[in-house]
Chains A and B, each alone.
Chain A
Amino acid sequence: MLFHPAVLSLYLFSILISLMVLYAAFYGVQILMRWNLQSGSELQLSLEKKTYLISTLLTYLFSFQLISLFSFTHTVEHLHPLFVGAMCAAGTLYVNAYGYPALLLKLFNFLLAGLWLILNYTDNRGYDYPLIKKKYLLLLLLAPFLWIETILQMSFFLDLKPDVITSCCGTLFSTDPSSVASEIASLPSLPMKWIFYLVLFSTVGLGLFFYRREKGGYLFAVMSGLSLLVSMASLISFISLYFYELPTHHCPFCLLKKEYGYAGYPLYIALLGGAITGMGVGVLMPFRKIVSLKEILPSIQKRAALISAILYLIFLIVATYPVLFSTFRLEGY
Chain B
Amino acid sequence: MWIEKQGNIIDFTLSSLLRRKRKNLALISVYMLVIFFFASVMFFTHAIKKEASIILKEAPEMVVQKMAGGRHELIPLGYIEQIKEIRGAHSVKGRLWGYYYDPVAGANFTLMVPGEGEVEQGGIAVGKGVSRVRFLDEEDEMEFMASDGEVFGLKVKQIFSPESELVSSDLILISEEDFRKLFGMVKGVATDIVLSVRNPKELSTIALKIAERLPDTRIILREEMLRTYEMVFNWRGGMMLVVLSGTLLAFIIFSWDRASGLSAEERREIGILKAIGWETSDVILMKFWEGTVISVSSFFVGVFLAYLHVFFLSSPLFEPALKGWAILYPKFKLIPFIDFYQIATLFFFTVVPYTGATIIPSWRAATIDPDSVMRT
Identify the A interface with B (CB < 8 A). Answer: 2-10, 12-13, 16, 20, 49, 52-53, 55-57, 60, 64, 67, 71, 74, 78, 81-82, 162-165, 168-173, 177
- Complex: how many Å from CA A169 to CA B220? 8
Beyond known contacts A12-B353, A52-B367: 5 more, CB 8 A cutoff: A5-B345, A7-B238, A8-B238, A60-B355, A78-B341
Q: Nearest residue in B to A7 (C-beta to C-beta)? A: B238
Shortest CB-to-CB span from A99 to chain B, Å, is 19
Decide if B341 touches A177 in the complex (CB within 8 Å).
Answer: no
Chain B residues touching A, range: 35 or more
Q: Nearest residue in A to B219 (C-beta to C-beta)? A: A171
Assuming the contacts A163-B224, A165-B225, asked whether A171 and B211 have C-beta atoms less than 8 A apart, the reply is yes
- Complex: how many Å from CA A20 to CA B307? 33
Inter-chain contact total with CB atoms closer than 8 Å: 113
Instruction: Write the B271-309 contact mask toward A (1 if CB under 8 angstroms, else 0).
Output: 000000000110010000000000000000000000000
On chain A, the residues within 8 Å of B239 by CB distance are 3
A-B contact pairs, 27 of them (CB 8 A): A3-B235, A3-B242, A4-B234, A5-B238, A8-B349, A9-B349, A12-B353, A20-B356, A20-B359, A49-B280, A52-B284, A52-B366, A53-B359, A53-B363, A56-B284, A60-B359, A78-B341, A81-B226, A82-B230, A82-B231, A163-B224, A163-B227, A165-B225, A170-B218, A171-B207, A171-B220, A172-B221
On chain A, the residues within 8 Å of B226 by CB distance are 81
Main secondary structure on chain A at its contact with chain B? helix
Decide if A6 touches B353 in the complex (CB within 8 Å).
Answer: no
Nearest 8 interchain pairs by C-beta = A3-B238, A170-B220, A173-B204, A9-B348, A53-B363, A164-B228, A49-B367, A6-B345
Q: Nearest residue in A to B348 (C-beta to C-beta)? A: A9
List CB contacts (< 8 Å) of B32-73 with chain A.
Answer: 41-42, 45, 65, 70
Cβ of B360 < 8 Å from any Cβ of A? yes
Q: Nearest residue in A to B238 (C-beta to C-beta)? A: A3
On chain B, the residues within 8 Å of A170 by CB distance are 65, 218-221, 224
- Complex: how many Å from CA A57 to CA B358? 11
On chain B, the residues within 8 Å of A4 by CB distance are 234, 237-238
Shortest CB-to-CB span from A26 to chain B, Å, is 13
Q: Nearest residue in B to A68 (C-beta to C-beta)? A: B348
Contact of B218 among A56, A71, A169 (CB under 8 A): A169
Q: Nearest residue in A to B225 (C-beta to C-beta)? A: A165
Cβ of B142 < 8 Å from any Cβ of A? no
Shortest CB-to-CB span from B51 to chain A, Å, is 16
List CB contacts (< 8 Å) of B224-274 with chain A.
Answer: 224-228, 230-231, 234-235, 237-239, 241-242
Decide if A52 touches B341 in the complex (CB within 8 Å).
Answer: no
Shortest CB-to-CB span from B241 to chain A, Å, is 6
Shortest CB-to-CB span from A319 to chain B, Å, is 24
Decide if A2 touches B228 in the complex (CB within 8 Å).
Answer: no
On chain B, the residues within 8 Å of A20 by CB distance are 356, 359
Assuming the contacts A60-B359, A71-B348, A162-B231, asked whether A177 and B242 have C-beta atoms less than 8 A apart, the reply is no
- Complex: how many Å from CA A20 to CA B358? 12
